[in-house]
Amino acid sequence: MQLDKATPEQLRQWESQLAADYQAIVDKKLSLDLTRGKPSAEQLSLSDALDGILKGDYKAADGTDSRNYGGLDGLPEAKQLGADVMGLDDASQILVGGNSSLTLMFQAMLTAHQFGLKDAASAWKNDGDVKVLCPVPGYDRHFTVCEQLGIEMVTVPMGASGPDMDAVEAMIKADDSIKGIWCVPKYSNPTGVVYSDETVERMAKLGKIASANFRIFWDNAYSVHDLVDDAPQLACIMAACKRNGTEDSVLQFASTSKITHAGAGVAFMAASATNLAGLKRFLSTCTIGPDKVNQIRHTRLLPNRDALLAHMKKHAELLNPRFEAVLSALDAAFGDNDLGAWEKPVGGYFVSFDTRPGCAGETVRLAAEAGVKLTPAGATFPYGKDPENRNIRIAPSVPAVKEVVAAMDVFVICVKLASVRQKLAS
Amino acid sequence: MQLDKATPEQLRQWESQLAADYQAIVDKKLSLDLTRGKPSAEQLSLSDALDGILKGDYKAADGTDSRNYGGLDGLPEAKQLGADVMGLDDASQILVGGNSSLTLMFQAMLTAHQFGLKDAASAWKNDGDVKVLCPVPGYDRHFTVCEQLGIEMVTVPMGASGPDMDAVEAMIKADDSIKGIWCVPKYSNPTGVVYSDETVERMAKLGKIASANFRIFWDNAYSVHDLVDDAPQLACIMAACKRNGTEDSVLQFASTSKITHAGAGVAFMAASATNLAGLKRFLSTCTIGPDKVNQIRHTRLLPNRDALLAHMKKHAELLNPRFEAVLSALDAAFGDNDLGAWEKPVGGYFVSFDTRPGCAGETVRLAAEAGVKLTPAGATFPYGKDPENRNIRIAPSVPAVKEVVAAMDVFVICVKLASVRQKLAS
């Protein structure tokens, strides 16, 4: 099916056949869901040893009683776990938070904007208008943070090796009100790409051309979430920043949410001493410290990087058949035609699919009517507006493999039907 | 020792004797600490069954998998625990947070100030200057929240039945920029008083005379933290608000921090539907939900209010000898003279002692030199400034009883020495 080469008669035939196929599916009254970027119950069970793992020993390695108040930046062994998760050498650069890296990111951006990470004078709001670059498609919750804080979002396109760095550099040079950029550098949400070494190096140099107090929000949410053994290596941005003298320009985030129990994990921020001090000044006004008991549970379950990577292999074994179901369906349906485009991720939680321009909303609507829930079209763009109305995020982790297969059968027909009808109407 | 009736010769004799007593204590090189308002290790151990209590069953009563993301306002049974802790009938008024009620209070005040609890138009910042009433002496971390948010604090004196309500009402009527008041209504930090029924009723009526969007921050931190069997009952402010049509004017907070593990507990907010919706709008931008696994652990440990109260009795057994050590030392030393004044709390974590005006700072300094750490003078006032320099917060929960006794010996001598020297210099 090559729409752009088809005759009107061919298009009408296809439409008729696809409409019949679609109706047959609607009649099945399915109820399937490809929206949720969260672990399945089987994945969660991999970490059920967490409860009871302390066996009455609540003492941290340094003698701290994990049960009591205090320890704003976390236990030393929890910092080491954060370093293991993020692949960093220096655990002293880590702050350990509560159960949500999104919360740490919000707090860091709130602090940068309103209170200043360096000092009060460094607050973004002092400089008038504030903008943050958002590579698209991207993660909707990053966009929501900016919206809540009244920060204008400026989009920049994602490619196969990360954001378009020519565009990023040009925008930053041209506009002093750009104070930050959101990044998911490994298995980017949703496209699944890993930033190339060159992209990381150019990111690390932004601090030299950007306005003062510029910060990269480096959400390394999928740092160890590989689906293959020979997974791509993400270059270390902090090492690159050190080479370039821009250590203060990057804030790295991660969590165990998609490693252990999604809602009951431990979140981390890695940053320079200046940035850590700035966030701690803020945190000291709104908490007496994170849940250190949960930190110590996690360090006992995952005592070193080898244990962590062995644990992640078990996740991969559960996730791989689901990703294969998505990718083989897409290959079979769209491998030889002009109806869609996608990256083949080897890690993370998503497959990002681009329909022909203008077809994403209708595809999602058709799928919903046929009992398959998809993330709303536009969700991967700031303000929920995909200017080309083409991106759809597919999240296959939660359903069983046969449900993913069934949902993709529906998805494929919906993409085709939406595409053919649009072509007919054009 | 009645300083105001003593002759100069008597004062000099006392000073000489006290200085000798003091030097004898300095020579002992003690190292004692009465600063920490937190549970002792023995108290924490009362809840050590928390780890392992799930025995592999992570399902909430309604079938929710507590391990996964979601549930912004908490599990139903955790809401019931919050209602039990706060003595409320209606668990649907509860939002369950993470491990820190201070965080919920910060988030609620941030939302009220910047984003609006009702809607964007209701944000305090829209009205220009913003002030919050702070009964003093009070809790330093409440003051820090206001300072961080740039909210001006206005003090109002605490009495034996709560804040001076005549003053509170007069100030609110006279000044539209007063948008809130901090309250610790039961076993007030630090004075230990319980608000009288009349105080609660008048608080509930403030919403009728205050400017729009006025909120009472009702930090019921010690709601079940009684030291005696016939503990005073705090009237229910929400019931009083309902009678007065002011349900939106109060936000109640509590946590299990001084019930189970201080740093690893569960925090609660109780409020009207409007206020709950407002906080949830905010929370949806900065978290995917609280740690529900920890919530479910707590509900299994404390399944109903009877279990909760039985648990609190064990805390009282550990705390009572420590409070008795403080109070008997104060009675013996100052019961018959004009050197100090204090309330006798029957719950909570503190004894608040007022020296003669001008003597608190010197008392704390003398104690520190004699190896007894006290909370810095002024800490119980906004901006750390006690205008009369007389309030000292004594926190006896952490040291062993004999350490409290030894520390109070030092405290008593330091108060006397500071007082006599001040009188001599006057």
> Pairing mode, if any, of strands B340-342 and B351-355?
antiparallel
Select the residue of B115, B261, B287 nearest A100 (Cβ to Cβ).
B287
Domains, in order of start, for chain A: 3-43+310-425 (3.90.1150.10), 57-303 (3.40.640.10)
Neighbouring residues of A169: CB distance < 8 A, sequence distance ≥ 6:
A202, A206, A209
CA distances (Å), B205 to each of B63, B241, B324, in order?
41, 7, 37
**Residue B141, both tokens:** 């971390």
| A388-422 residue pLDDT tens | 999 999 999 999 999 999 999 999 999 999 999 99
CB contact under 8 A, A288 and B141: yes
CB contact under 8 A, A292 and B264: yes
Nearest C-alpha in A relative to B70:
A263
Nearest C-alpha in A relative to B106:
A286
Q: Which residues make beta-bridge pairs with A394?
A: A351
Neighbouring residues of B331: CB distance < 8 A, sequence distance ≥ 6:
none
What does the buried/exposed string (b/e) look like for A110-128 if buried means 16 or more CB atoms within 10 Å of the residue's CB?
bbbbbbbbbeeebbbbeee
* Residue of A79, A100, A80 whose CA lies nearest to A305: A80
Tokens 């138009």 found at: B121
Distance (Å, whole) CA B420 – CA B426: 10
Whether B126 has its CB under 8 Å from any CB of chain A: the answer is no
| DSSP-assigned letters across all residues of B141-164 | HHHHHHHHHT-EEEEEEEETTEE-
Contact B268, B73 (CB under 8 A): no
Burial of B324 (0-12, 13-18, 19+ CB in 10 A): middle
CA distances (Å), A44 to each of A258, A349, B66, B294, in order?
9, 15, 10, 15
Distance (Å, whole) CA B179 – CA B213: 7
CB contact under 8 A, A67 and B103: no
pLDDT value at residue A301: 98
pLDDT higher than 90, residue A1: no
Tokens 């296809």 found at: A14
Q: Three-state SS for A385?
A: coil
Question: In chain B, count of helices (H) and strands (E)?
Answer: 13, 13
Neighbouring residues of B173: CB distance < 8 A, sequence distance ≥ 6:
B209
Q: Three-state SS for A131?
A: strand
Q: Rounded to the nearest 5°, which phi and psi values hold at B122?
A: -85, 0
pLDDT value at residue B1: 77
Nearest C-alpha in A relative to B144:
A285
Q: DSSP character for B125? A: G
Nearest C-alpha in A relative to B143:
A285
Contact B98, B292 (CB under 8 A): no
Distance (Å, whole) CA A24 – CA B132: 64
Given phi > 0 = left and psi -120 to 50 = alpha, else beta, which region is A158? beta
pLDDT value at residue B363: 98
Instruction: Compute the nearest-CA separation of B5 from chain A (Å).
Output: 46
Q: What is the mean pLDDT of residues A51-59?
A: 97
Distance (Å, whole) CA A132 – CA A150: 11
**Residue B159, both tokens:** 């009495």
Query: Which pTM was predicted?
Result: 0.97
Torsion of CA A119, A125, A127, A128, to 10 degrees: -170
426 residues of chain B, pLDDT tens digit each = 789 999 999 999 999 999 999 999 999 999 999 998 999 999 999 999 999 999 999 999 999 999 999 999 999 999 999 999 999 999 999 999 999 999 999 999 999 999 999 999 999 999 999 999 999 999 999 999 999 999 999 999 999 999 999 999 999 999 999 999 999 999 999 999 999 999 999 999 999 999 999 999 999 999 999 999 999 999 999 999 999 999 999 999 999 999 999 999 999 999 999 999 999 999 999 999 999 999 999 999 999 999 999 999 999 999 999 999 999 999 999 999 999 999 899 999 999 999 999 999 999 999 999 999 999 999 999 999 999 999 999 999 999 999 999 999 999 999 999 999 999 998
Share of chain A above pLDDT 70, in %: 100
CB contact under 8 A, B148 and A51: no
pLDDT value at residue A183: 98
A99 chain-B contacts, CB cut-off 8 A: 98, 290-291
Nearest C-alpha in A relative to B57:
A48
Distance (Å, whole) CA A7 – CA B424: 108
Q: Three-state SS for A291?
A: coil
pLDDT value at residue B426: 87
Contact B177, B69 (CB under 8 A): no
Distance (Å, whole) CA A309 – CA A81: 12
Range 62-81 of B in CB contact (< 8 A) with A: 65-71
- How far from each other are the two terminal CA atoms of chain B, in whole angstroms? 17
A69 chain-B contacts, CB cut-off 8 A: 38, 257, 262-263
Contact A157, A196 (CB under 8 A): no
* Residue of B326, B424, B412 whose CA lies nearest to B363: B412
CB contact under 8 A, A287 and B68: no
Select the residue of B263, B286, B292 nearest A289 (Cβ to Cβ).
B263
Tell me, rounded to whole angstroms, the distance of Cα A386 from its chain centroid. Answer: 18
Distance (Å, whole) CA A104 – CA A48: 25
| DSSP-assigned letters across all residues of A313-356 | HHHHHHHHHHHHHHHHHHHHHHTTSSSEEE---SBSS-EEEEES
pLDDT higher than 90, residue A43: yes
Residue A110: pLDDT band (50, 70, 90) is very high
